[in-house]
Each structure stands twice: as structure tokens, then as C-alpha cells.
């Protein structure tokens, strides 16, 4: 496993659409290593989610970890099939260090995805998980949160020294 280099605000790759991973490639060492590296990279930077494009790989692979008892979730080729309601939330992104803003996300989402074992799954999510899935699927479509924030809510938070 390895920490991958993050792509940051201003990098054109963040605006590109990621490609689906063919089902037969999911078990490949290349994809499995990508997943492991993405989880390690997300954890290193204390992120809640990471899309492959953020480490420079234009594939529809997402990892999410709410740091609860479920552990990291891997979503390959995720599709949001249903949304319900709205929530106004505070949001950040590992590609936009120290920037936070308010944004409207769906209150609930139903998403279909393939897990790292190649099994097609469905998740019904609300609150932070719904927000995270929505944010990460946006990344796969070349969309970044900063383009849809509530105007005037952007804040810069200085990182803590350690
Ligand atoms: Ni992000």
C-alpha cells in the first residue's frame, strides 16, 4: 500500500469525467491496489471520502469512511438512483485544503454500486453518508463542491500546527 499524491484545486483533471471500471477488471491487482492506496491516502489526510480522480486516476472508484463501526466503504461505478429532501451542510474536500463552505445536499440518497469483490450492492443513505456519496459522485462527473456552495459561506480555516 502507498500514499498517493493528491490533486488540488486548479488541476484540470478535477473537471474531467471518470470512466466506468469494467466488471471483469475489478479483481485485478491494479484496481485492488488503487482501492487500498485510496483508503490509506484518505486516512492519512483524515478525509471522509476520496474519489480516484483526486489521486489522478479517471476511474469511477470512490472510498468513504465515516469512522464508525462500519469501516471504509468502497463504491465502484456508483449511481445515485434516488434522492429525497435536502440538507444544508458544512463541507470540505481533500482537494481544497482548509476551505469549507455551506452547501445543499440531498437529505437521503439511494445508490447502487459494485463493491471490491464485484458484487452489485444498494445503499440507502442519509445525513453524512448521503452527503459523502453525493460529493464523491460529483467528483466522478468532474464536478467540485466549490462550484455549488451557498454564496458567501466560504471560509478558510488555518490548519493546526503539529
Ligand atoms: Ni472532494
pLDDT in tens, 90-134: 999 999 999 999 999 999 999 999 999 999 999 999 999 999 999
Q: Does 136 participate in catalysis according to the annotation?
A: yes
Residue with the three cell numbers 460529493:
135
Q: Where are the domains of the chain?
A: 12-156
Is pLDDT above 70 for 161? Answer: no
CA of 32 to the centre of ligand 1 (A): 21
Asked whether the beta carbons of 76 and 119 are under 8 A apart, the reply is no
CA of 144 to the centre of ligand 1 (A): 7
Q: What is the pLDDT of residues 37-93, one digit of tens each?
A: 999 999 999 999 999 999 999 999 999 999 999 899 999 999 999 999 999 999 999
What does pTM read for this prediction?
Answer: 0.96
Q: Mean pLDDT across the stretch 21-39?
A: 98
Q: How far, in Å, from the CA of 95 to the mean position of ligand 1?
A: 6
Active-site choice (86, 136, 160, 161) = 136
CA of 96 to the centre of ligand 1 (A): 8
How many whole angstroms separate alpha carbon 79 and alpha carbon 92?
22
Strands 61-64 and 99-105: unpaired
Pairing between β-strand 61-64 and β-strand 49-51 as defined by DSSP bridges: antiparallel
Contact criterion met (CB below 8 Å) for 90 and 98:
no
Q: What is the CATH number of domain 12-156?
A: 3.90.45.10
Amino acid at each position: 500500500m502507498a500514499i498517493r499524491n493528491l490533486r488540488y484545486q486548479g488541476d484540470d483533471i478535477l473537471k474531467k469525467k471518470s470512466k466506468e471500471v469494467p466488471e471483469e477488471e475489478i479483481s485485478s491487482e491494479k484496481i485492488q491496489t488503487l482501492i487500498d492506496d485510496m483508503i490509506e491516502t484518505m486516512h492519512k489526510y483524515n478525509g471522509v471520502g476520496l474519489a480516484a480522480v483526486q489521486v489522478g486516476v479517471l476511474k469511477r472508484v470512490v472510498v468513504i469512511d465515516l469512522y464508525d463501526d462500519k469501516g471504509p466503504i468502497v463504491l465502484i461505478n456508483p449511481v445515485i438512483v434516488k434522492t429525497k429532501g435536502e440538507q444544508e451542510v458544512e463541507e470540505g474536500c481533500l482537494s481544497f485544503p482548509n476551505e469549507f463552505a455551506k452547501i445543499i445536499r440531498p437529505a437521503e440518497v439511494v445508490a447502487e454500486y459494485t463493491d471490491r469483490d464485484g458484487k452489485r450492492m444498494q445503499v440507502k443513505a442519509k445525513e453524512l453518508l448521503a452527503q459523502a456519496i453525493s460529493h464523491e459522485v460529483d467528483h466522478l462527473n468532474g464536478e467540485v463542491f466549490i462550484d455549488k456552495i451557498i454564496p458567501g459561506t466560504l471560509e478558510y480555516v488555518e490548519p493546526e500546527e503539529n
